[in-house]
Amino acid sequence: IQKMISLRKQYAALGGNQLEWVETDNPAVLAYLRGQGDEAILVLNNLSEHVQVAHIPAEYQTSGQNLFE
């Protein structure tokens, strides 16, 4: 939880007021885009206990990084 709090303080988008749901074609994967100004973060949540595969629409496929690594 401390890591999540730290990330929220570091990235304005995680505390922003913009939220857009993203379709993944997998009901076990919840995806949404959080934003604030010019900053946006795509958040993926695996709602299953198993590894999942999810389709991310092309408009959301940009370079990025895993914030939990």
- Non-local CB neighbours of 25 within 8 Å, separated by 6+ positions: 54, 55
Contacts of 67 (CB under 8 A, 6+ apart): 7, 11, 41
> Tell me: the pLDDT tens digits for 43-65?
999 999 999 999 999 998 887 77
For the segment 24-44, what is each residue's pLDDT rounded down to a tens digit? 999 999 999 999 988 899 999
Identify the pLDDT of residue 65. 79
Q: What is the maximal distance between C-alpha atoms in the chain? A: 35
